[in-house]
Amino acid sequence: MKAKLRGHHLICLNFFRGEGYSEEFIRNIYSVIGKEKVEIVVGPDDVCARCPYLEDNKCANSDYTDEKILLQDREALRLLRFKPGEIVDWKIISAKLPGILDEWKALFCLDCGYLEVCFNE
């Protein structure tokens, strides 16, 4: 089985700690990250499918605009050098993180509400 994930989830799920969400949402994320392979998709994915902020196939969270989420997706794919439709192993994704993490953090993490959860900062 493989998970279907959008760009920014390829990065952010590596730092998931089971905090900040409902129990159902947490269970879903654990089932997603428990799959060995990932199919890269554009737009809502297996994580978004259980998100209470998904409305009309868009992110309706007041902290993030759908446009910002789509920008994060594009930048994640650029940094990781993946394309939609590719199927990759979590190990490959994780191996690429050290080389891109400083740029990712500078672009998106500094104003993210989960900065402390992900990086203890």
Q: Domain residues of the chain, as ranges?
A: 2-119
Q: pLDDT band for position 121 (50/70/90)?
A: low
Task: Report the relative pairing of strands 37-40 and 2-5 from DSSP bridges.
Answer: parallel
Q: pLDDT band for position 114 (50/70/90)?
A: confident
CA distance 90 to 61: 27
The pLDDT mean for the chain works out to 91
Summarised one tens digit per residue, pLDDT across range 63-111 is 788 899 999 999 999 999 999 999 999 999 999 999 999 999 999 998 8
What is the pLDDT, as a whole number, of residue 20?
67
CA distances in angstroms from 17 to 1, 5, 81, 87, listed in the order given: 23, 18, 25, 24
Residues 3-31, mean pLDDT to the nearest whole number: 90
CA distance 106 to 83: 22
What is the pLDDT, as a whole number, of residue 22?
84
The answer to whether the beta carbons of residues 8 and 78 sit under 8 Å apart is no
Could you give the percent of the chain with pLDDT greater than 70?
A: 98
Give the pTM.
0.92
